[in-house]
Amino acid sequence: MTEQEQREQLVDLAKSMFDRGYATGGAGNLSVKLDHDRVLTTPTGSSFGRLNADSLAVVNMSGEHLSGEKPSKEVAFHLEIYKNRPSANAIVHLHSTYLTALSCIKGINKSNAIKPFTPYYVMRVGNLPVIDYFNPGDSNIATELGRLAPNYRAYLLANHGPVITGSNLLDAVDNAEELEETAKLYFLLQGQDIAYISDSDIRILEKKGV
C-alpha cells in the first residue's frame, strides 16, 4: 500500500468510527507505520470525523515531527508500543463509551479487565491489562505501555480509555470495534449468571487466532 493509500484509509476508517459513535469531538488518535522509521498519525485535537489526508502528521521513531500538522502529544505512547511490539503496525486509541466506562470502575481486575465470555474477544484481544491513572500526556503512560507491549495486543488506561494494536490499520480498527462491543456486552450482562469460556477453550482460541 502506498503512503497516499495509507493516508486515505486512515481518514476513511476514522470517519467510519466517528459516524458510528466510537469517537467524539477531538478525542482519541490513530497511527500507522509507513516504514521502519516513519509513523503517520492524527494531528493534535483533531476530530475523527474531519480529518484531511494531506495534513496528517508524520513523525519518526524518535518523535521528531517531519511533516503535516502538529501531532498529538499522545503519539509518544504509540511510539513506545511500536518499539516494544514489532508485530504492531497500527494503533487505535479511543475514548469510546463502554470501554471508558469500564476504565472508571473502582476495583477492576488490573491483569485482565474483562474475563472472557466470547470467543472473538479471546482471538482478537486476549487479555486486557489496566494501566493506573496518569494525566493525559504524562510520560508514565508511554513507559507503562512499553512495558506491557511485548505481551499484550490491547490495554485499558484507567479513567481514560482503550489502546489497541493491529498488524495493519484495518486489523487494529477491527480489534477496537470487537473490544468495544465486548465491553458493551459486559455491562448488558451485569447481574446475570455469565457462562465464561473455560481455560482449556481459551488456550485453543489463543492458538487459533482470527
The CATH number given to whatever domain includes residue 41 is 3.40.225.10
* pLDDT bucket at 89, cuts 50 / 70 / 90: very high
* pLDDT bucket at 6, cuts 50 / 70 / 90: very high
Would you say residue 209 has pLDDT above 90? Answer: no
Please report the pLDDT score of residue 208 as a whole number.
78
Q: Give me the number of domains the chain comprises.
A: 1
Interval 30-68: pLDDT, tens: 999 999 999 999 999 999 999 999 999 999 999 999 999
Report d(CA 143, CA 66) in Å as an integer: 23
Would you say residue 210 has pLDDT above 80? Answer: no
Would you say residue 103 has pLDDT above 80? Answer: yes
Q: If you search the block for the grid coordinates 482503550, which residue do you land on?
A: 162
Would you say residue 162 has pLDDT above 80? Answer: yes
| Strands of 65-67's sheet in order across | 65-67, 57-60, 38-41, 29-33, 90-93, 161-166, 154-157, 130-131
**CB half-sphere exposure, 120, CA atoms < 13 A:** 11
Q: What percent of the chain has pLDDT over 70?
A: 100
Neighbours of 111 (CB within 10 A): 9
The rounded Cα 15 to chain-centroid distance in angstroms is: 16
Report d(CA 50, CA 115) in Å as an integer: 36
- The better pLDDT of the pair 208, 51 is held by 51
Catalytic residue among 74, 80, 144, 180: 74
Please report the pLDDT score of residue 207 as a whole number.
85
Can you tell me the mean pLDDT for 109-122? 97
Please report the pLDDT score of residue 150 as a whole number.
98
- Print the domain residue range for 46: 3-208
Report which secondary-structure segment, H or E, holds 201: helix 199-208
Catalytic residue among 3, 120, 133, 181: 120
Report which secondary-structure segment, H or E, holds 130: strand 130-131
Can you tell me the mean pLDDT for 3-21? 97
Q: Mapping DSSP to helix (H, G, I), strand (E, B) and coil, where does residue 206 land?
A: helix
Residue 74 annotated as catalytic: yes
Please report the pLDDT score of residue 126 as a whole number.
94
Neighbours of 108 (CB within 10 A): 16
How high does pLDDT run on average in the chain?
97
Report d(CA 95, CA 26) in Å as an integer: 10
pTM for the full predicted model: 0.96
Report d(CA 123, CA 208) in Å as an integer: 7
Report which secondary-structure segment, H or E, holds 165: strand 161-166
